[in-house]
Every structure is written in C-alpha cells, then in structure tokens.
Structure 1
Amino acid sequence: MPDAAPSGPAVTCVVPTHDRPELLPRALRSVLAQTSPPASVIVVDDTGSARPVVDAFDGRIRYVRSWSSTAGASRNLGAALAETPLLAFLDDDDTWHPTFLARCAAELTRPDQSTVDFVAAWTWRCRAGHRRPGGSLPPLVSPDDWLHRNPGLTGSNFVVRAGAFRRLGGFDATLPVNNDLDLFVRALDLGLRYAVVPERLVVQYRTGCGDLSRGPGRASGLAGYRDKYRDRLTVSQRRFLRREQYVALRFPDQLRRRRLAYALLGWLNATPRQCVEVVRHRLNGATLYSD
C-alpha cells in the first residue's frame, strides 16, 4: 500500500504486466510517487515473472497471478478486486507524471462535473529517448468518426468511476489490441460522458520489448477489431485498418520480399493524407511507427 493516505477520492490503480519485469519497476515508482497516491495498487501478472518485482516494494503493492492472455482480461481481473469508487490503469511500460491522479480525480469530482464518468489526460510518446506529443483527446468526439483510430484514450491515461466501468462490462478480453479504443467507443455508445485534462501527464514508451506495435499478433488483433465493427465502418475506415495490418506485418526477422509486399499493400490502402504524413516523416528523418 502507498505510504501516504490519499488526499482525494479513493482510487485503485491496476497494472497489467506480461513478462516485462525489467520495465515494471519504473511504472510502479511513478504510481507511488503520485502527489495524491492511490488507495491501493494491484499488479496483475499473467506469466509469474513479476512476483519478485512486486515483493521488492515491501507490501505496498498487491500481487495477483492471472492466467489470462490479454491486457484487457488482466485489467478486468484487477478492477473486479478493487473496492474504491474510482479506477485507473497503467501499462507496465508506461509512466504517470506525479500529478496525474490528482488532476484527473479533481476534474472528475468537480461539482459541475457530477455527470462525468471518466477523465483522460493527454500523453507523450517516447522511443529511443526521443519524446513527442502523443494522444490529445478532444473534448467532444463522435464514436462513428473514430471507430478506426484512437483519438487519445489509452490503457494508461484515464480515471473512471468504478460503477461506469462495470456498466460497460470492462475491456473486451478477446481483443489483444485496440481494446482501449473499443472501450471508448462502447462508452460513448452507452451515453457515458467524459472530461479532458489538456496536459501531457502520461508517457507511453515504445521499447520494442514485448510490445504490440508490430508483428503478427497486432495484425491479427486489428483484424478481430475490424470484424467486430464491420457493419459500422465506412469504406475509408476499413481501408485505414487494413493499412495498419500491413504496417504491423512489416516486422524485422522477416523475408525481404514479404516486407516489400506488405509495404506495397500498405501504400495501396493508404489515404492521400497518410501518404503525405509518411513522406513528411521520412524527409524529417524520423522513424514512422504504428501504435
């Protein structure tokens, strides 16, 4: 448990982890360093590798062994064990700014926000030590406009009322990727309301260590998400998701001709705007990657 008593509404932080014990301590230290610390911290581990890491925190963090196969399932298990009115989630390779929980909880509990169900902060994305602006969730979003692309809600940057989370049925445990986008779409479909903290208080790291930014797992997950919303997706949205699949399949340790084939298929399914973005990134010498 955190050393200091929470100064605001009680929050449970759930941290799903999957065989990345070398990254987990950084995430947990950012949770315990909150200016308004959570009432409890639950690490849900689906491989067993995180137990020594959690034990090193001397009882301040609860360890739960899971046999699930997705981050969504692990988050749901942790949330089911929570006894607080608010929930927050943090991926094992991300970090929170010390004021994240305080800022989100304050926004969520303002007198004029009594009907708000969850609050999200903006993010940074960091790769190889280079930080750039990440998701910037706008205050008003139509779910049908964002079925194909996450406008800024991730598995690490929001605080939600526990009752609202349970009304949603939690994350879709069958989706290995885009489960955060799926949760957001279903929340809007259900009529849940959200507010935004327009500050970058979360850092999402892309380390290449077990993440799902590239590879067959991401491609398969994108196909599953596309099938779930097939009847609602526009033609351009389906093309966008197909392109994301082909980008995901261009991973290292693959035959060069396959990578070239997937690159071609990606270009064929790209919108003019995406083509311009790719060229701009290349001219700036940046590395383009899919999240």
Structure 2
Amino acid sequence: MTRGQTGQGPDVITRPHPPLSAVTCVVASRNRRADLLASLPRHEAHVVLVDNASTDGTVEAVRAAHPAVTVVPLDRNAGAVARTLGTARAGTPYVAFTDDDSWWAPGDLARAVEIMEAHPRLALLSARILVDREEQLDPVCTEMADSPLGTEPDLPGPSLLGFVACAALVRTEAFTAVGGFDPVVRFPGEEERLALDLAAAGWGLSYVDRVTVHHHPSTSRDAPTTRQAGIWRSRVLTALMRYPLRDLAGQLVRAARAGVPGWRGLAGALPRVPAALRRRRVLPRHVMDGVRVLAR
C-alpha cells in the first residue's frame, strides 16, 4: 500500500521503522469497540488505549484481540484528559494522538518523528488528513496550509494556533510542561487551549502536508448540532481561561450570535466557569496578536 491510499482491510505492520521506538500512539475512546478493533492493527507504534468508562465491552475485547496494546480503563468519562493520562503512561519522547477512527499512513509516523527531531522547537506537528474511503482532503487542512501566520524559519510548515487532535504528533516534554489537555475544556474543541499555551511557552506548531493521517469518522458520533454546541462551549471556556477581557467579550458576542449551537454552548459553559477562572492566565501579547489575525 502506498502513502495516501487506504486499501480494503487493516494493514498489520511487521517491520517497524527505527524512529518508531521513540513514539507511542495514544488513543482515547468511549463505546467504540468496533472502530477500535478495526483501527488498532493499523498503528505502527506501540499503542496506549485509555478507555473512558465504556459500557460496550471495549476493554475486554481489545485485551483479547490485541494483547500488545496497553489498556488503561477509567471508571468515569474523563474526556480529553484521557490523552493526558495516556501520555503519562507512554514514556516516549513523542506521542501521536491517533483516535479510534484514525491512523497514520504507512511510514508516515516514522517520517513525522524524523521531522520533529530535525526541528527542536517544534512541539506539535499537524498532519494532512484524508477523510473516508473517498480519501478527500479535510477542508481544515486547506485552512492550515494557508495559515496567515506564515512559516517561521525554524519550523517545517505553516505556523498554527490550533490543530486536529486525531492527526497530531506532540513532543512529550512540551505537552507535559503546559499541562496537556485539561478537565475544564474537555471535548470537543479541546485543542485550542493547548495550542495557545504551547505558543505562549515559546514552542512552535506547524502543519506538515508531507505526512498523512487517514480519518474514517465513526458512525457513533454526536449529532452535528450537539457537536457544534460542544465546540462553542470549549471556545467560550478557552477564552475565559486565556483571552484578555476585550477579546473574551468578543468571543461571548460571537457565541450569542451563532444561534442555537452558540446558546447551548454558553449554557454548557456556565457550570465550568468557576474552574475556568481558577485556571485563568492571560496570554502574552504576541500570541493574542496571532489569535486576532486568525479571527479576521
């Protein structure tokens, strides 16, 4: 199978590339047993699966079918924090957040590790994403490729202040230093706060279209309106935790003008406001300048 192609069945990798010893695939999942059993054989590196209290027999099925996978069962749904717990278990310099319905193209995870090693300030590499069996480019990749933030001379691709978690390779040192994914923002839309904190700490984030992730979205997904409401909730909480007051006000106005998903997002954020305020730390000016450029 060549890079950028899917094939008809799982591809079990038998000859790992040397850089793969430096990376772990961390998968956070909940009640997607069938998706996991199909995608796990495609991962070229060791896998740490953090199960968010599934009730569909995921843990037992994975342990039986894939005994080499490290399974970390949780007794509650921790949301995106499961990835932080998985990273702590990984023990490798790099972690790939490969979801239960995504995987890196053969050879590309090793290639991505080599790119990270060649760019020591790079904390997060966001790969090209091909969606479904039609292998269509995810529109978000076009946006990242055309990032108005430009390409810094010591980075391998356009600079970012956001990413798609299912197609991201992170430097464990940087991820851990900024606290990983947090329990306030959760999922979906959890990526922004992490991206902003990495940038504030001086790390670089880049889109690199020389490496590919395949994403076959699970049929077990929230309805679009529910997902959009969750994204607005995360945007509001991230703004509350990191934006200066005038930018926070602007985000609240945008949520209110977004119709039902925005209103639901605002309502969903309310119970988490005290926790967000306890973690509030306003971003440095140069990072907020980038946020404003992207908003325009």
Same fold? TM cut 0.5: yes
Q: Of 26, 31, 39, which aligns to 2:38? A: 26
The residue aligned with 1:74 is 82
Task: Tell me whether 1:47 sits opposite 2:59 in the alignment.
Answer: no
Q: 1:58 to 1:30 in 2, by over 3 A?
A: closer
What 5-or-longer segments of structure 2 have no aligned partner?
Answer: 1-12, 151-159, 265-296
Displacement after TM superposition at 1:106 (Å): 1.6
Matches within 5 A, 1:1-291: 4-8=15-19, 10-31=22-43, 37-38=44-45, 40-48=46-54, 49=56, 50-110=58-118, 113-126=119-132, 131-136=136-141, 137-138=144-145, 141=149, 153-175=163-185, 176-199=187-210, 201-211=212-222, 213-215=224-226, 217-218=230-231, 220-229=233-242, 231=244, 233=247, 237-243=251-257, 246-247=260-261
Answer yes or no: is the 8 Å Cα contact 1:121–1:196 preserved in 2: yes
Amino acid at match of 2:214: V
Answer yes or no: is the 8 Å Cα contact 1:177–1:212 preserved in 2: no
SS in 2 for 1:135: helix
SS in 2 for 1:156: helix
Amino acid at match of 2:87: A
C-alpha separation in 2, matches of 1:104 and 1:73? 24
SS in 2 for 1:22: helix
Q: 1:121 to 1:218 in 2, by over 3 A?
A: closer
Amino acid at match of 1:209: S
Q: 1:140 to 1:160 in 2, by over 3 A?
A: farther
Displacement after TM superposition at 1:5 (Å): 4.4
Give a deviation string over 1:96-116, Cα, whole Å, max 9, x none.
222331221121112xx2332
**Identity across aligned pairs (percent)?**
22
C-alpha separation in 1, matches of 2:262 and 2:36? 25
Answer yes or no: is the 8 Å Cα contact 1:14–1:89 preserved in 2: yes
Normalising by structure 2, we get a TM-score of 0.66
User: Number of residues paired by the alignment?
Assistant: 235
Q: RMSD of aligned C-alpha atoms?
A: 3.4
Answer yes or no: is the 8 Å Cα contact 1:23–1:93 preserved in 2: yes
Normalising by structure 1, we get a TM-score of 0.67
Q: 1:190 to 1:130 in 2, by over 3 A?
A: same
C-alpha separation in 2, matches of 1:42 and 1:245? 39
Higher helix proportion: 2
C-alpha separation in 2, matches of 1:205 and 1:56? 24
